C-alpha cells in the first residue's frame, strides 16, 4: 500500500492527512516532535491565560486517529534521503515513504542579538515555549517584569498573556506605530491606544541592543539601542516574526529558498515530495500574496489542495481572496481582500471610526473604476461569504456600502453603524448611496 509520510502535525499536515483519508485508503503517517496529537497553536495563549486547558486545544479526541487509520509518530526528522525515499530520525531510525509532505511550519526569528539564548528568553510559537513561559513567568513574583521584542500579532498576544497574570510588560516595537507596515495609520493608532489602555508599557521606534544575563545564565535585563536604557526583567519574549522551519533539509536535494521551494502544485523539485503551510515558498508569489504565508488559513487550504494531488487529482493551489483575522486584546480584526497601509496609486481609502475609538472600518477601492478591493474591520464582525462574493463579482464600492447590512455578522441586538458609515462616505464623496435593508435572499444567493 502506498505510504504517505507527513512531517509536521500542524493545521497543514493534519488537514492534508484528513483529506487524503477522505479520498483514499493510503497508509498515512504523521510525524511530530512537538506533541503526540494535533493541537491548535493559535490557542496556546488561552492556555496560559487560563481560559482553556491544553486538552481543549485539541480538535480531535484521541480515538480519532486510530479510527481513521492515521498513524501518529513522535520523533524528530533530521534528514530526508530523497534517492532512497526515506526519512531519518535523530535516533538513526529510518522510515520509507512513497509520498512525502513537508509541513514543518515556522520557528521564531532570532537576529543574532547578544544574549538571545539565555534562560528566560523565548519565542511564543511551540508548545515548549508555553512550558518555558510557565516556568519563567508563572506569576508576578517570579517574573517581576517581562520585555517583548517585536511588534506584530504574536507580540501583542504575548503581551496580553503576561498582562492577564498581572506581570508588568514592556513592549518594544521597532516601527513608530504598532504593526504599521500592515495597518494604515489610524488602525495602527487605535491598537496603540488599546495596548496602553491595558497598562502595557509600549515603546515605539526602538530596537533591541542586547540581552544581559547573570552568571547562572538567567536573563536579567535588556538594553535599548536608541536610548541605552536598561530595563531589568526576568523574561524576554522574542516575537520578531517567524521563518520556515527547514534546517533539517539543508543537506537534502530539495531546493530551498527561505522556505521549501514549491510550484503551484505544491511540488518540490523532487518527485513525490511536497511542501505545504508556513514552510512552503512559492517560486513566484500568487497574485498580491507573499511567497511565504505563515497564516493558519492558507496552511489549511494547502493541505486540502495537496491531498487532491496526492490522490490522483493533480490540482493547482489557488487560494481565493485574501482574508485574515486577529484579536488585539479586546478588539477583533477581520480583513477581506487587500487593504495596504498606504493606498497604491490607483486606490482610494474610505475610513470610518466610531466615536468610542474602538471600532472602525476601512474600505479600499479603485478610484478610477470604483471597484471594491478590500476592507479592514475592527470591532465589527463581517460576513466572509459576503465579501468573497463581492470580490468574485468585482462589485463596486457603492454596491458594498448599499448592502453593508447584509455583510454585518455581529451578534443579535448589537448596535449597527451602517447608516453612519454610509452617511460619512456620502458626505466625503458627494454621493447619494442609500443603505438597503438586510435581505436573506441576497445573503443566500451565493455563487
Partner 1 sequence: MKIIKQTGLLLFLIGLLIFSGVIFTGSFNLSQSELDAFITEKGYKSDVIKEKLSKAIVTDESLNIFEFSSRVRNAYEASNEHYNALIAKYDAEKNWDKKGAQYQYLIYGKPHTLSYELAKKSGNGFVKNNPGLLWFLTFGLGIFGALLFILPNFVLLGPEGIKNNGIYFEASTNRGWIAWLVLIYLVVFYLLLYFFPDYVVNWTFILDPISEFLNGGKASQWFVYGFLYCVIMLVMGVRMYIKYRHNKYQVIRTTSVLFFQIVFAFLIPEIMVSLNMPGYDFKNAFPLDYDFFFEWNLDNLRNSGAIGLFILVWGIVLTLVIVPVMVYFFGKRWYCSWVCGCGGLAETLGDPYRQHSNKSLNAWKLERWLIHSVLVFSLVMTIVTLYCYFTGAQSFLGINSQWIKDTYSFLIGAWFAGVIGTGFYPIFGNRVWCRFGCPLAAYLGIVQRFKSRFRITTNGGQCISCGNCSTYCEQGIDVRAYAQKGENIVRASCVGCGICSAVCPRGVLKLENGPEKGRINPTEILLGNDVDLMKLVNEK
How many residues belong to the site for partner 1 (CB under 8 A)? 63
Here's the x/- map for partner 1, 15-34, by CB under 8 A: it reads as -------x------------
Q: Output 415 or 427, the one with its CB closest to partner 1.
A: 415
Residue 204 interacts with partner 1 (CB under 8 A): yes or no: no
Reported in sequence order, the residue ranges of 195-239 that DSSP labels E, i.e. its strands, are: 201-204, 208-213, 219-224, 230-232, 235-238
- Pairing label, strands 201-204, 208-213: unpaired
Q: Cell 487560494 sits at which residue?
A: 319
**Which residues 254-273 are close enough to bind partner 1 by CB under 8 A?**
none
CA 380 – CA 382 distance, rounded (Å): 6
Least separation, in Å, of the C-beta of 411 and partner 1? 5
For the bound state, the minimum distance from the C-beta of residue 301 to partner 1, rounded and expressed in Å, comes to: 5
**Shortest spacing between CB 93 and partner 1, in angstroms:** 31
The arrangement of strands across the sheet holding 347-353 comes to: 323-328, 331-337, 372-378, 360-366, 347-353
* 98, 109, 364, 439 from 401: Cα distances, Å: 52, 41, 12, 14
Q: Which position among 2, 21, 52, 402 is part of the footprint of partner 1 (CB under 8 A)?
A: 52
Per-residue mark of binding to partner 1, 134-173 (x: CB under 8 A):
------------------------------xx--------
Phi, psi (rounded to 5 degrees) for 192 = -55, -45
Asked if residue 131 binds partner 1 (CB under 8 A), the reply is no
Nearer to partner 1 by Cβ, of 57 and 376: the residue is 57
Q: Does 413 bind partner 1 (CB under 8 A)?
A: yes
What's the min distance (Å) between Cβ of 86 and partner 1?
Answer: 32
For position 46 contacting partner 1 by CB under 8 A, the verdict is yes
Shortest separation between residue 365's beta carbon and partner 1, angstroms: 21
**Near partner 1 by CB under 8 A, which window of 88-96, 224-232, 346-354, 410-418?**
410-418
**CB-nearer residue toward partner 1: 46 or 136:** 46
**357 CB contacts (<8 Å, ≥6 apart)?**
190, 193
Q: Are strands 323-328 and 219-224 parallel, antiparallel or unpaired?
A: unpaired
Helix axes 185-197, 153-164, angle to 10 degrees: 20
d(CA 93, CA 100): 17
Cβ proximity to partner 1: between 192 and 398 the closer is 192
Burial class (CB in 10 A: 0-12, 13-18, 19+), 172: buried
Q: Report whether 289 contacts 297 (CB < 8 A).
A: no
- The answer to whether 51 contacts partner 1 (rule: CB under 8 A) is yes
Question: Which of 410, 424, 433, 442: binder of partner 1 (CB under 8 A)?
Answer: 410
Longest dimension (CA), the chain: 71
The residue from 76, 283, 346, 414 that contacts partner 1 (CB under 8 A) is: 414
User: Residue 218, exposed/middle/buried by CB under 10 A (0-12, 13-18, 19+)?
Assistant: middle
Which of 88, 98, 272, 385 is in the footprint of partner 1 by CB under 8 A?
385
Grouping H, G, I as helix, E, B as strand and the rest as coil, residue 324 is: strand
Residue closer to partner 1 by CB (options 194, 371) is 194
Run of H or E including 134: helix 127-136
| DSSP H or E stretch at residue 107 | strand 106-108
Q: Is 43 in the site for partner 1 (CB under 8 A)?
A: yes
Per-residue binding string, partner 1, 295-324, x by CB under 8 A, is: -xxx-xx--xx--x----x-xx-xxxx-x-
> Which residue ranges make up the site for partner 1 (CB under 8 A)?
11, 22, 40, 42-43, 46, 49-53, 56-59, 61, 63, 164-165, 197-198, 296-298, 300-301, 304-305, 308, 313, 315-316, 318-321, 323, 325-327, 329-330, 332, 334, 381-385, 388, 392, 409-415, 440-441, 443-444, 447
Amino acid at each position: 500500500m502506498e505510504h504517505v509520510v507527513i512531517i509536521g502535525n500542524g493545521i497543514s499536515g493534519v488537514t492534508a492527512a484528513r483529506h487524503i483519508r477522505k479520498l483514499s485508503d493510503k497508509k498515512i503517517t504523521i510525524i511530530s516532535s512537538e506533541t503526540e496529537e494535533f493541537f491548535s497553536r493559535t490557542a496556546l495563549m488561552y492556555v496560559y491565560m487560563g481560559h482553556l486547558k491544553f486538552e481543549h486545544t485539541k480538535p480531535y479526541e484521541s480515538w480519532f486517529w486510530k479510527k481513521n487509520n492515521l498513524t501518529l509518530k513522535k520523533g524528530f526528522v533530521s534528514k530526508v534521503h530523497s534517492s532512497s525515499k526515506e526519512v531519518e530520525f535523530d535516533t538513526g531510525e529510518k522510515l520509507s515513504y512513497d509520498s512525502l509532505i513537508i509541513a514543518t511550519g515556522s520557528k521564531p526569528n532570532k537576529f543574532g542579538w547578544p544574549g538571545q539564548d539565555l534562560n528566560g528568553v523565548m519565542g511564543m510559537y511551540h508548545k515548549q515555549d508555553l512550558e518555558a513561559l510557565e516556568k519563567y513567568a508563572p506569576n508576578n513574583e517570579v517574573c517581576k517584569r517581562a520585555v517583548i521584542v517585536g511588534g506584530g500579532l504574536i507580540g501583542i498576544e504575548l503581551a496580553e498573556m503576561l498582562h492577564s497574570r498581572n506581570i508588568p510588560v514592556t513592549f518594544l516595537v521597532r516601527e513608530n506605530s504598532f504593526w504599521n507596515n500592515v495597518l494604515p495609520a489610524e488602525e495602527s493608532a487605535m491598537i496603540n491606544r488599546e495596548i496602553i489602555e491595558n497598562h502595557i508599557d509600549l515603546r515605539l521606534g526602538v530596537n533591541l541592543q542586547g540581552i544581559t544575563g547573570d552568571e547562572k545564565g538567567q536573563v536579567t535585563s535588556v538594553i535599548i539601542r536608541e536610548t541605552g536604557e536598561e530595563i531589568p526583567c526576568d523574561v524576554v519574549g522574542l516575537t520578531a516574526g517567524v521563518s520556515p522551519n527547514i534546517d533539517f533539509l539543508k543537506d537534502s536535494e530539495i531546493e530551498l529558498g527561505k522556505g521549501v521551494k514549491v510550484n503551484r502544485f505544491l511540488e518540490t523539485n523532487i518527485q513525490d515530495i511536497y511542501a505545504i503551510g508556513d514552510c512552503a515558498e512559492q517560486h513566484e508569489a500568487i497574485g498580491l500574496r507573499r511567497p511565504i504565508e505563515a497564516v493558519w488559513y492558507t496552511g489549511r487550504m494547502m493541505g486540502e489542495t495537496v491531498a487532491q494531488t496526492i490522490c490522483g487529482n493533480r490540482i493547482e493551489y489557488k487560494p481565493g481572496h485574501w482574508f485574515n483575522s486577529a484579536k488585539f486584546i479586546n478588539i477583533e480584526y477581520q480583513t477581506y481582500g487587500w487593504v495596504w497601509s498606504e493606498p497604491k496609486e490607483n486606490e482610494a481609502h474610505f475610513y470610518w471610526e466610531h466615536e468610542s475609538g474602538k471600532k472602525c472600518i476601512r474600505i479600499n477601492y479603485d478610484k478610477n473604476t470604483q471597484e471594491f478591493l478590500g476592507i479592514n474591520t475592527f470591532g465589527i464582525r463581517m460576513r466572509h461569504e459576503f465579501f468573497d462574493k463581492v470580490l468574485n463579482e468585482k462589485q463596486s464600492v457603492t454596491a458594498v456600502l448599499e448592502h453593508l447590512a447584509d455583510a454585518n455578522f455581529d451578534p443579535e441586538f448589537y448596535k449597527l453603524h451602517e447608516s453612519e458609515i454610509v452617511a460619512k462616505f456620502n458626505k466625503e464623496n458627494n454621493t447619494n448611496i442609500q443603505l438597503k435593508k438586510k435581505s436573506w435572499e441576497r445573503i443566500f444567493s451565493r455563487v
